[in-house]
Amino acid sequence: MKRIILTASIFLTAAVAFGYYLFNKPHGSIIDETPIFSSKAVGLVDEYEADENSANTKYLGKVIEVEGTVSDKSMDEKGVLNITLKGGDLAGIGCQFDKNFQTDAMGFKNGDQVKIKGICTGILMDVVLVDCVISDNSN
Amino acid sequence: MKKVLILIALIISAANTQAQTKFFTKAGKITFDATTPSSPDKIFGSNDKATSVIDASSGAMEFALLMKAFSFDKALMQEHFNENYVESDKYPKAVFKGNITNMKDVDLKKDGTYTVKVKGNLTMHGVTKEVNADGKLTVKGGAIVNGVSKFNVLLSDFNVAIPSLVKDKVASEAKITVDINYDPLKAS
């Protein structure tokens, strides 16, 4: 009987601790995640402009990798790096970096060919990726 | 020759400042706060990738944002926000289209901060509702450089249901803040 209570209380403690851990888990990084899809920036923009709904079904909320040419670079007031990759005539891909992993990307210059992965959140004027990191070339 | 060049440069710069009535951004900041005194944590998300356009000649303005671009400190809160509350897979965007009703009070030739009234329709979670808000526009050097506003939205107006279990922990009325730096829209 004692053993059952002991076991039960250990499990209960573990469950509560796990719940507490989940509840407080910080907004994580995608650095170790494998993108579900890899594309040229131009191709992704084309796909979004052709059919936004079907593109959203495929990519919304998912980690994707894009390769393209840097057309704009800026830093916002919170110190977060934003890089725009060239897409079509108007739309591009706006990549908002993960502040903890942006140091290497700060050296990017307009015209550079780069590979970035991030979480796809849809399209406004640009296709927007958030929590971006430089994509490992070995992927 | 030099004189001609200077003249051309002057004409071009004059034309530029004259024609500039549209201002836009792709990096507007919008925050969402549904914290109540009994919330165990701040229910606060921010979105730094909103787009917005103001046409100073008519006072028309709009902004749009992607729900999934809202970032919360806690992963689970962000997940709940997206999956249980705003259902961002089904409704990925929020869009506001409206007018600055007292645009005539804003003098683009005079630097300063102007109080404005904004009226328009906010579409979120598949529902469109009229929203009225007060805001402030900052004018500098003949251009609108910043717009800020604060308003509240009743979540039930947008069919965002709060489960009864957490009724006192999630505010029924969310506080929205908008803080947007504008750039002149280049006619290229």
Taking a C-beta distance cutoff of 8 angstroms, is the pair B31, B20 a contact?
no
User: Under a CB-based contact definition with an 8 Å cutoff, are residues A102 and A114 in contact?
Assistant: no
A22 to chain B: closest CA residue: B76
The H or E element spanning position B185 is none
- Per the prediction, chain B carries an average pLDDT of 90
Note the pTM of the prediction, 2 decimals.
0.83
The residue written with tokens 């979120």 in the block is B124
ipTM of the complex: 0.80
Q: Which of A28, A76, A78 sits opposite B75 (nearest CB)?
A: A28
If phi > 0 it is left, if psi is from -120 to 50 it is alpha, else beta; for residue B131 that is beta
**Residue in B71, B88, B93 closest to A130 by CB:** B71
Kind and range of the H or E run holding A38: strand A37-40
**Residue-level length of chain B:** 188
Across the interface, whether the CB atoms of A60 and B92 are under 8 A apart is answered yes
Give me the percent of chain B exceeding a pLDDT of 70: 89
The closest CB to that of B49, out of A27, A94, A120, belongs to A94
Put simply, the answer to whether A25 touches B26 (Cβ < 8 Å) is no
pLDDT 10s digits, B78-107: 999 999 999 999 999 999 999 999 999 999
Confirm if A82 and A75 have CB atoms less than 8 A apart: yes
Give the mutation candidate from A121, A126, A130, A132 for the B interface (greatest B CB count, under 10 A): A121
- Which residues lie closer than 8 Å to B68 by C-beta, 6 or more apart? A60, A61, A119, A120, A121, A122, A130, B82, B88, B92
Q: What is the pLDDT of residues B155-179, one digit of tens each?
A: 999 999 988 888 889 999 999 999 9
| Neighboring chain B residues of A126 at a CB cutoff of 8 Å | 26
Chain B residue whose CA is closest to A58: B89
Q: Do B69 and A27 touch (CB under 8 A)?
A: no
- Answer yes or no: do B48 and A122 touch at CB < 8 A: no
In Å, what is the CA distance from A67 to each residue of A18, A75, A88, A109, A120?
38, 21, 14, 14, 14
- Report the candidate in A31, A106, A107, A116 with the shortest Cα–Cα distance to residue A69: A116
Query: CB of B43 within 8 A of CB of B30?
Result: no
User: pLDDT band for position A139 (50/70/90)?
Assistant: very low
Contact (CB, 8 A) for B131 and B38 = no
φ, ψ of residue A118 in degrees (nearest 5): -165, 175
**Which residues does residue A72 pair with via DSSP β-bridges, in sequence order?**
A84
Contact A23 B74 (CB under 8 A): yes
